[in-house]
Amino acid sequence: MSVLLFMPYEFFLALRHLRSRRKQKLARVTTLIALTGIATGVAALIVALALANGFRDEMRDKILRGTAHITVVRSDGQPMPDYSETAARIRQVNGVVTATGTTYDGAVLIGPKGSTFAVLRGIDDSSPQTRSDVAVSIVEGSVDPLFNAKEAGQGLPNVLLGSDLAGQTGLSVGDRAEIIAAGSVLRSNAAIKRSARVAGTFRTGLFEYDSTWIYLPLDTAAAFSGGAHAATVISVQVKDIYDVKQAGSNIRESLGPSYTTIDWQDANRPLFTALTLERRIGVVIIALIIFIAALNITTTLILVVTERRQDIAILNAMGATRKSIMGIFMIEGAITGVLGALMGVLLGTLTVQIANHYKLISLPADVYSIGNVPLNLSLRDMALAAAVAIALSIIATLYPARAAATIRPAELLRDV
């Protein structure tokens, strides 16, 4: 009772209107439809934002698992025979965790099922960090033979194949693979076929890597391409992946103008720009759906105004201002929007939890690069979805609230 004493009468009357048994059943039905529509729209917006977040985060994590946060290359594009010294200087830069030399070279991989394009990625076998990074993604075989000069008894260098690449060529652990490096063709004008033993297969989770990459030591990559032992790039990992601009600037300042850097944000800018645009368009489209659902509030309030015209006239006669009359009906719409938003948040959260538990969002990896997308829910997105619903619900009350405020009490009460 004490709460009612301090409650504004506009809020009190709005609650009475919502709880009272109305003569027109249609008003109750439209209220339920409005609540259901808003809740469904909010849930859809939450799920869409969680899906967009999950896809973006999964792509980012997969990309950074296989590539560097910052790539350092010579400004003239030449290989770096002294990559070990250069990497040591980079590791002294503030914010850098590790720096290792690597190479990338196109190749043709030949197996029992045929041949396909591949990328030879030479890695520094003296780096413990590189060894652990590669070992994490191994699904069959072992990374250990890769860092041995030659496999005992066979005299063949060891390589690791992406799991999809191995499947395309029909190669498995222990098989003999034939590799033609593009660098050897350019240097000798002849296709030189090299043999290697498959020591294992790996899966990074990104189709582009798993279907094309071949890991092998730097000296083996140099031997296959017919060049000197050198790294073409230095892969740098930093503490904060979102501070790569500053870290890149520090690296360039340390190495001088002979070197340049490319960070992961610049290298993948088109992809993440497209994902951001897709997210924004999704928010706008679903917000329009919520607005359409909120129009049911307009219908409900119009029915309420029609039903309670005499009550409104009495309030006017008792001294209620137009602002107060509008406030009563705007509060009714806001309460409906808040209830619908809360229901939608609960429904959306439950849907996200179920989708993640059963891994319901699966995609063709050869089209979208990743096979499964987790839904990453954030409190900010939940608050955004609820705020959009409540704001649109309040907007939907403006016309019926204004119509109620313009009712002339003298004309109505004269006929009572």
In this predicted model, which residue has the larger pLDDT, 394 or 65? Answer: 394
Residue 160 is predicted with a pLDDT of 96
Give yes or no for a contact between 393 and 38, defined as CB atoms under 8 angstroms apart: yes
296 and 209, same structural domain? no
Share of the chain above pLDDT 90, in %: 51
- Domain presence at residue 388: yes
Domain check: are 410 and 296 in the same one? yes
How high is the pLDDT of residue 2? Answer: 46
pLDDT at 153: 40
pLDDT for res 412: 53
DSSP per-residue string spanning 122-139: EE-TT-HHHHHHHHHTEE
Confidence tier at 131 by pLDDT (50, 70, 90)? confident
Residue 127 binned pLDDT confidence (cut-offs 50, 70, 90): confident
| 42 and 122 together in one domain | no
The SS3 of residue 359 is coil
**Whole-number Å distance between alpha carbons of 256 and 339:** 61
pLDDT above 70 covers a percentage of the chain that reads: 91
**Higher pLDDT pick, 111 / 15:** 111
Residue 120's pLDDT is 95
pLDDT tier, 125 (very low <50, low <70, confident <90, very high otherwise):
confident
| 276: enclosing H helix or E strand | helix 269-307
Last residue of a domain, one of 212, 230, 248: 230
pLDDT value at 1 more than 50? no
207 and 285 co-located in one domain: no
pLDDT, one tens digit per residue, over 211-267 is 999 999 998 998 898 888 889 999 999 999 999 999 999 999 999 999 999 999 999
Q: Kindly indicate the confidence band of residue 367, based on its pLDDT and cuts at 50, 70 and 90.
A: low
Q: Which residues contact 323 (CB under 8 A, 6 or more apart)?
A: 405
User: Among 49-53, 213-217, 358-362, which is the least confidently predicted range?
Assistant: 358-362
DSSP, collapsed to helix, strand or coil, labels residue 250 as helix
Instruction: Note whether residue 235 is domain-resident.
Output: no
Within 8 A by CB and 6+ apart from 321, the residues are none
Task: Say yes or no: 407 and 278 in one domain.
Answer: yes
Judge contact between 162 and 168, C-beta under 8 A. Answer: no
- pLDDT for res 310: 78
Residue type, 51: L
- What's the chain's average pLDDT? 87
Looking at residues 39-61, what average pLDDT do you find? 93
Same domain as 304, residue 214: no
Across-strand partners of 246? none
Same domain membership, residue 150 and residue 32: no
Regarding predicted confidence, which is higher, 396 or 183?
Answer: 396
pLDDT in tens, 335-358: 989 999 999 999 999 999 999 999
What is the arithmetic mean of pLDDT over 395-410?
Answer: 82
Higher pLDDT, 15 or 325: 325
Per the model's pLDDT, the better-predicted residue between 326 and 187 turns out to be 326
Residues 157 and 53 placed together within one structural domain of the fold: no
The mean pLDDT of 109-129, rounded to a whole number, is: 91
Identify the residue with better confidence: 57 or 146: 57
The reply to whether 83 falls in a domain is: no
Contact 393, 337 (CB under 8 A): yes
Q: Could you tell me if 194 and 224 are in contact, meaning their C-beta atoms sit under 8 angstroms apart?
A: yes
Number of H helices, E strands in the chain: 18, 10
Between 276 and 415, where is the model more confident? 276
Q: Evaluate if residue 390 carries a pLDDT over 60.
A: yes
DSSP code per residue over 284-333: HHHHHHHHHHHHHHHHHHHHHHHHTHHHHHHHHHTT--HHHHHHHHHHHH
Rg, C-alpha atoms of the chain: 33
Q: Among 273, 277, 298, 288, which residue's Cα sits nearest to residue 394? A: 298
Residue ranges making up the domain that contains 393: 2-63+271-414
Same domain, yes or no: 294 and 399: yes
Q: Return the ∠ at Cα 124 (arms to 120 and 127), rounded to 5°.
A: 145
Whether residue 73 lies inside any domain: the answer is no
238, 241, 411 from 97: Cα distances, Å: 5, 11, 80
CB 79 within 8 A of CB 233: no
Same domain, 56 and 133: no
Report if residue 89 sits inside a domain.
Answer: no
Instruction: Determine the average pLDDT of the residues in 387-391.
Output: 92
Residues 280 and 405 in one domain: yes
Across 33-37, 179-183, 366-370, least confident range:
366-370
pLDDT of residue 297 exceeding 50, the answer is: yes
Q: How many domains does the chain have?
A: 2
Residues 196/217, Cβ–Cβ less than 8 Å: no
Question: Helix, strand, coil shares of the chain as percentages rounded to 5?
Answer: 60, 20, 25
- Does an H or E element contain 99, and which? strand 96-111
Question: Using CA atoms, how far apart are residues 279 and 283, in angstroms rounded to an integer?
Answer: 6
366 pLDDT higher than 80? no
Residue at 247 is within a domain: no
Q: Cβ contacts of residue 9 below 8 Å, gap of 6+?
A: 324
